[in-house]
Amino acid sequence: VNDELAYEIVPSGDRTVIRLRGEIDLANSADLAKAFDEAAGLVPPVVIDVSQLDFIDSAGFAAIHRLAERVPTQVVVPPAARTARAFGVSGLSEVVPVHESMDDVRSEGSTEG
């Protein structure tokens, strides 16, 4: 019974923000994929905010990667986030734009993922 993943989808005029909380691993990456499917149907790009996320592993990174292959996706990982180092070693930034704050998302605008 892994109920640790919580997410919130906030659609706005020019993007869809999805905020993730808790821990993401093999046990709940399927739930994350469902959340991403929901967000993918809304206004692109999908901006994933992980500032409140406690843990993410390769299963989570794979889900983000798969989403980015379908719709324009960006990830916001503040340097102080608990998952910052995990994102750093994941190599995800090679395939998905990763920003340090929501402001950077605005200034750079939508980038092809």
Partner 1 sequence: MTRRRRLRWGESAVAVACVSILIVSLVGALAAPDDVFPAVFPIVAAFVAATLASLRLTVVIASLAVVQFTLVALWSDSRTGWPLVWRTVFVVVSAGLAVVLAVLRRRRDRELVQIRGDLQESSLLRTLAATSRDPIYLKDRKGQYLLANDATARALGRALGEDLRGRRDRELLDGDVADTIEAEDQQVFRSGTVQEFEDVLEVDGEPHIYLTHKAPLLDDHGFVVGLTAVAKDITIRRNALTRLEDSEHRLARLSASRQLVAEVASRVAVASDPERIAGEALAVLRDHLPRHSGAVVLSEPDDPSAWRSLAFTGVRPDLAARWHDTIPDIHTPSYDVVTSGAGMSFAGPADYKRAYPDLAADIDAAGVGGPTFLEPLAAGTRILGVLSLSFHEPLTEPDASSTCDTLRELAPVIGHSLRQAQFLELEGRIARSFQEAMLELDEPVDSRIMLATTYQAGSQLLEAGGDWYDIVPLADGRIALMVGDVVGRSLRAATVMGRLRAAMRALVLTLADPAQVLSRLDDLVETIEDASFATCLCAFIDPARGTLAYASAGHPPAVVIAPRGTIELLEDVQGGPLGVRGRRPRRNGRRDIEVGSRLVLYTDGLVERRREPLDAGLTRLVDAVRASRHAPVDQLPGLLIDVLFADYEQRDDVAMICAEVVSESPAHFHRRLDADPTELRSARRALAHWVMPASTGDGAAVSQETASDVVLAVSEALANAIEHGGGGPQSIDLDVSRDGGMLHAVVRDRGAWRPSSDDPVRGRGLQIMRRLAEDLAVETDDDGTTVTLTLTLRSPS
Residue 96: Cβ-neighbour burial (10 angstroms; 0-12, 13-18, 19+): buried
Which of 17, 23, 76, 97 contacts partner 1 by CB under 8 A?
23
Picking from 111, 21, 112, 96, the residue whose alpha carbon sits closest to that of residue 61 is 96
- Binding status of residue 26 toward partner 1 by CB under 8 A: yes
- Binding status of residue 80 toward partner 1 by CB under 8 A: no
Q: Which residue's CB is nearer to partner 1, number 76 or number 86?
A: 86
- Residue type for position 67: L
- Binding status of residue 38 toward partner 1 by CB under 8 A: no
Cβ-proximal residues to 96 (8 Å cutoff; 6+ apart), any chain: 64, 65, 68, 73, 74, 75, 113
Which of 91, 103, 104, 111 contacts partner 1 by CB under 8 A?
91
Which of 40, 62, 71, 102 contacts partner 1 by CB under 8 A?
62
In the three-class reduction of DSSP (H, G, I as helix; E, B as strand; rest coil), residue 75 is classed as: strand
Note the residues at the interface with partner 1 (CB under 8 A).
Answer: 1-2, 4, 23, 25-27, 55, 57-59, 61-62, 65-66, 82, 85-86, 89-91
